[in-house]
């Protein structure tokens, strides 16, 4: 960015980087955000830029997000005289953290101030949409991801005498079934909602009933009312099931979980008109993945949109977070153009 004549700060809120390009005339301040972390996945795609770190890969396209934002920075620096106001470039770490994330410390370090941001936009590569296709959703667009840990506390003993124990594995099994009842019987069916138990650990040997069992999972919701009710119901169901079998439990939710990602409807409509001039664009349903772009969108009207990369001819057919995820690199110029065009539109 410095080579392009853009003011740049490093170490913003930890490992964040913020660039500032001031326009020739007065106008609004637009922030463009790219996330820049990876995932604990072993890469199974043979590429020139394949991960050099075993067990870690850019399985969600974050390397391409950085590339597209740098591309937009190049375009905008070449058209500096057309910018009214200023453009901020937010390179944010730790989106995949799922808890505090990288957006919060960057905001606390002043990334959205001096000058104050009027609009904020984020672009994400998506393996489910056709290459070169934009997709966006007005209103709630991504979920609040509430991770939870549940400890079932029983009483261990010999596997041949279960009647003398309080078997936490048995209780955990009943609990997993009961938890699904929250989704199917306790939350209104028209409300977007997911609860999943994704991890279970207990025991050390085939003839020992252990003292404890540990469950981990996630709740995904698109509004705060449902979010609060779901967390309350999980506590209620867990306590009741454990009590019925003589066990007890301890439930903890991940602190500082991301809020719902909300696309300002009016701003989304304007963005859609810009995107339609670049490539085919469609409105899609909200998804229940989580994003800490949501924190930026709480500070200024924002839009988080997607760019498809699915292309069977190039074997780009695997979804985000897959060990075989691959991006059709021809879409990168489209993404860079979209970010630059949105910035020019909204700084006016």
| pLDDT over 90, % of the chain | 97
Active-site residue identified among 7, 191, 216, 329: 329
- In this predicted structure, what is the pLDDT of residue 97? 85
Q: Is the pLDDT of residue 98 over 90?
A: no
189 lies in the same domain as 59: no
Domain assignment of residue 179, given as a range: 144-253
270 lies in the same domain as 137: yes
222 lies in the same domain as 322: no
- 10 Å Cβ neighbour count for 233? 18
Catalytic status, residue 126:
no
Q: Is the pLDDT of residue 312 over 90?
A: yes
342 lies in the same domain as 198: no
Q: Is the pLDDT of residue 100 over 90?
A: no
Q: Is the pLDDT of residue 55 over 90?
A: yes
**Which of 207, 232, 253 is the last residue in one of the domains?**
253
DSSP 102: T
Catalytic status, residue 119:
no
Q: Is the pLDDT of residue 99 over 90?
A: no
Q: Is the pLDDT of residue 181 over 90?
A: yes
Q: Is the pLDDT of residue 39 over 80?
A: yes
For residue 298, which phi and psi values (nearest 5 degrees)?
-80, -20
The structure tokens listed for 30 are 């637009």
User: What CATH number should be reported for the domain holding residue 71?
Assistant: 3.40.630.10
Contact assessment for residue 6 and residue 64, using Cβ atoms and an 8 Å cutoff: no
37 lies in the same domain as 21: yes
33 lies in the same domain as 135: yes
**Which of 187, 219, 253 is the last residue in one of the domains?**
253
Q: Is the pLDDT of residue 147 over 80?
A: yes
8 lies in the same domain as 70: yes
**Which of 253, 284, 301 is the last residue in one of the domains?**
253
From CA 321, how far away is CA 290, in angstroms rounded? 13
- pLDDT band for 113, please (50, 70, 90 cuts): very high
The structure tokens listed for 269 are 């409509």
228 lies in the same domain as 343: no
From CA 65, how far away is CA 17, in angstroms rounded? 14
From CA 186, how far away is CA 176, in angstroms rounded? 15
DSSP letters along 286-338, please?
-EEEE-THHHHHTTS-EEEEEEEEEBGGGTB-SPTT-TT----GGGHHHHHHH
Mean predicted confidence (pLDDT) in 271-285? 98
195 lies in the same domain as 58: no
DSSP 52: S
210 lies in the same domain as 329: no
**Number of domains the chain contains:** 2
From CA 345, how far away is CA 83, in angstroms rounded? 9
Total length of the chain: 348
196-243 pLDDT, tens digit each = 999 999 999 999 999 999 999 999 999 999 999 999 999 999 999 999
Contact assessment for residue 89 and residue 68, using Cβ atoms and an 8 Å cutoff: no
* pLDDT averaged over every residue in the chain: 97
209 lies in the same domain as 295: no
Active-site residue identified among 43, 133, 258, 305: 258
238 lies in the same domain as 300: no
User: What CATH number should be reported for the domain holding residue 225?
Assistant: 3.30.70.360
The structure tokens listed for 196 are 């999943």
């Amino acid at each position: 960015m410095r080579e392009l004549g853009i003011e740049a700060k490093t170490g913003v809120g930890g490992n964040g980087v913020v660039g500032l390009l001031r326009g020739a005339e007065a106008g609004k301040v637009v922030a463009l955000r790219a996330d820049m972390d990876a995932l604990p996945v072993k890469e199974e795609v043979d590429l020139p830029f394949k991960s050099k770190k075993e067990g870690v890969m850019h399985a969600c396209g974050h390397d391409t997000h950085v590339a597209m934002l740098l591309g937009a920075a190049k375009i905008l620096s070449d058209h500096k005289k057309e910018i009214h106001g200023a453009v901020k470039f937010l390179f944010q770490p730790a989106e995949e953290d799922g808890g505090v994330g990288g957006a919060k410390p960057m905001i606390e370090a002043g990334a959205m101030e001096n000058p104050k941001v009027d609009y904020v936009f984020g672009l994400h590569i998506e393996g489910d949409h056709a290459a070169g296709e934009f997709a966006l959703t007005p209103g709630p667009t991504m979920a609040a991801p509430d991770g939870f840990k549940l400890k079932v506390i029983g009483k261990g003993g010999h596997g041949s005498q279960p009647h003398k124990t309080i078997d936490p594995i048995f209780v955990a099994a009943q609990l997993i079934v009961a938890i699904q009842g929250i989704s199917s019987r306790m939350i209104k069916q028209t409300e977007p909602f997911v609860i999943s138990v994704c991890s279970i650990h207990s025991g050390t040997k085939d003839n020992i009933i252990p003292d404890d069992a540990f469950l981990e999972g996630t709740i995904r919701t698109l509004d705060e009312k449902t979010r609060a009710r779901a967390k309350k119901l999980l506590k209620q169901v867990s306590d009741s099931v454990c009590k019925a079998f003589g066990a007890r439990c301890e439930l903890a939710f991940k602190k500082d979980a991301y809020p719902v990602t909300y696309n300002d409807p009016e701003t989304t409509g304007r963005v859609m008109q810009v995107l339609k001039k670049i490539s085919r664009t469609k409105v899609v349903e909200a998804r229940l993945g989580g994003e800490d772009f949501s924190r930026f969108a709480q500070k200024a009207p924002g839009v988080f949109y997607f760019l498809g990369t699915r292309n069977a001819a190039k074997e780009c057919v695997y979804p985000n977070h897959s060990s075989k995820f691959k991006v059709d690199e021809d879409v990168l110029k489209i993404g860079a153009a979209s970010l630059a065009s949105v910035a020019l539109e909204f700084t006016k």
